[in-house]
């Protein structure tokens, strides 16, 4: 898909012309009389007219004195969805909102709405070209929006890939290839290095699979003597549950590497945007499979931190690999740590599919994450992380246990377990299990835009 932005006049270069109109801003476009007479510009109002072999799609923004992000997103989505349903090849988007913030939202939404994971299909369902009609003075800001949206879609591609294509090794190869373009420094811990580092929980989860396990680290460090912001992402490229095998249909467990993909996408976007922030992404990459070599319920593993873990359930594997990754991240003297993980099915019982969940040891950081999510339309709900929860993670025969707690608060308890391995005063755990993927829409790419917005605000 090609997207361009310019200040060209309406012509015959597009199959469809989308106009986003506010009811309270004067319409300076030379639109057909039928549109001017009948269209009011209300929110959710959509009008389609075919005149002289030109398709006009008009979407209303409502009373837009203040940039209403959600109204703009809805109007763009409605217009593009209709154009795609008619198999249009190209569209031009015009808007009578003149703010740069509105234009950025239009660009991001257009790229994200046009996304389709159709690489394994004969029929493609995307527009070949989208023209954003805007003043060239906004080229820099619109280019930044393109960078963000394209990185979100790259993450969606990774998450949507089947597990026979995307495994720990192929993910590592993608990271290496991508970093040659961004010039970010990459470190890869293979199994030999993991063993020498005594990152035993990462190795333990992956030992039931023929696929080798890795820890991938991407470093974007433009500033000297400045503590980094560290992103940690859960990277289970397929989660069968191991010996504690899952029940029913679990083909969507190819997406259990969403957290790693999000961390990867954020650091790539931050480097392409040339933000003056030091950012490190740490991604443990494993496959969790049942075999004669797999870990068993009842096993005890000594983690990188030195703490021993009693394995109660091998399907609580994400918190195991994150334990080593978070302990390692803590040693790098970060200013902040934020981890992303599709960690618990229980997350969707809290906010359904409408919001991710955040908890941690820094209320200020949590609130900044919630604020960043609100700004860009990725909602977050804060959960408590009380000491009483952490105490329930203790084991009778090891330091801690990975499951089997006397608590119904499954999502909170998973975060409480992780807290045992964090030595950073500003840490947030984000459970994105409910918002990362749906069978109908595929990957949402949730977390990339939120993470970029957060990093812009963090010190």
Catalytic residues: 246, 319
CA distance 17 to 327: 53
CA distance 93 to 17: 6
CB 318 within 8 A of CB 266: no
In three-state secondary structure terms, 274 is coil
Q: What are the structure tokens assigned to 11, written together?
A: 């012509």
Strand (E) or helix (H) holding 185: strand 185-189
Q: What are the structure tokens assigned to 248, written together?
A: 């029913």
CB 43 within 8 A of CB 62: yes
Task: State in Å, rounded, how far the first CA of the chain is from the last one.
Answer: 36
CA distance 59 to 265: 31
HSE of 49, CA atoms in CB hemisphere, 13 A = 16
Burial of 288-317, coded b for 16+ CB within 10 Å and e otherwise, reads bbbeeebbebeeebebbbebbbbbbebbbb
HSE of 212, CA atoms in CB hemisphere, 13 A = 16
CA distance 344 to 198: 26
**Closest Cα partner for 428 from 317, 327, 340, 334?**
340
**Closest Cα partner for 189 from 324, 309, 299?**
324
**Closest Cα partner for 46 from 16, 67, 25, 74?**
74
**Closest Cα partner for 241 from 321, 322, 318, 315?**
315
Q: Position of tokens 């952490």? A: 390
Strand (E) or helix (H) holding 410: helix 410-419
For residue 187, list its beta bridge partners. 217
């Amino acid at each position: 898909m090609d997207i361009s932005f310019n200040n060209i006049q309406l012509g015959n270069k597009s199959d469809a012309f989308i106009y986003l109109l506010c009811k309270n801003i004067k319409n300076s476009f030379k639109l057909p009389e039928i549109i001017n007479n009948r269209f009011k510009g209300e929110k959710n109002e959509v009008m389609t007219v075919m005149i002289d072999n030109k398709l006009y799609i008009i979407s209303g923004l409502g009373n837009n004195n203040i940039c209403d992000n959600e109204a703009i997103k809805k109007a763009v989505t409605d217009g593009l969805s209709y154009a795609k349903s008619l198999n249009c090849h190209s569209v031009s988007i015009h808007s009578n909102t003149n703010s740069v913030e509105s234009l950025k939202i239009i660009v991001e939404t257009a790229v994200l709405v046009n996304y389709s994971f159709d690489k394994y299909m004969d029929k493609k369902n995307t527009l070949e070209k989208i023209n954003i009609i805007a003043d060239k003075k906004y080229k820099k800001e619109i280019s930044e929006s393109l960078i963000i949206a394209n990185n979100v879609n790259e993450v969606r591609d990774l998450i949507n890939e089947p597990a026979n294509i995307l495994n720990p090794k192929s993910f590592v190869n993608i990271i290496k290839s991508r970093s040659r373009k961004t010039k970010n420094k990459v470190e890869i811990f293979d199994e030999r290095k993991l063993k020498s580092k005594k990152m035993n929980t990462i190795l333990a989860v992956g030992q039931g699979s023929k696929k080798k396990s890795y820890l991938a680290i991407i470093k974007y460090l433009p500033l000297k003597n400045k503590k980094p912001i560290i992103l940690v992402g859960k990277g289970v490229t397929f989660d069968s549950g191991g010996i504690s095998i899952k029940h029913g249909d679990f083909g969507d467990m190819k997406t259990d590497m969403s957290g790693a993909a999000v961390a990867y996408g954020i650091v790539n976007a931050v480097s392409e945007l040339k933000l003056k922030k030091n950012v490190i992404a740490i991604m443990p990459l494993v496959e969790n499979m049942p075999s004669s070599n797999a870990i068993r319920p009842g096993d005890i593993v000594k983690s990188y931190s030195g703490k021993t873990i009693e394995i109660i359930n091998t399907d609580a594997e994400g918190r195991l690999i994150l334990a080593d990754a978070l302990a390692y991240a803590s040693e790098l003297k970060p200013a902040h740590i934020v981890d992303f993980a599709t960690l618990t099915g229980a997350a969707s019982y809290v906010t359904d599919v409408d919001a991710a969940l955040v908890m941690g040891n820094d209320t200020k950081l949590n609130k900044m994450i919630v604020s960043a999510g609100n700004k860009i339309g990725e909602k977050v709900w804060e959960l408590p992380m009380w000491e009483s929860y952490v105490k329930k993670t203790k084991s009778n025969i090891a330091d801690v246990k990975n499951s089997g707690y006397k608590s119904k608060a499954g999502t909170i308890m998973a975060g409480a377990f992780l807290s045992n391995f964090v030595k950073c005063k500003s840490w947030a755990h984000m459970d994105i299990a409910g918002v990362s993927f749906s069978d109908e829409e595929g990957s949402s790419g949730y977390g990339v835009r939120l993470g970029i917005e957060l990093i812009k605000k963090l010190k």
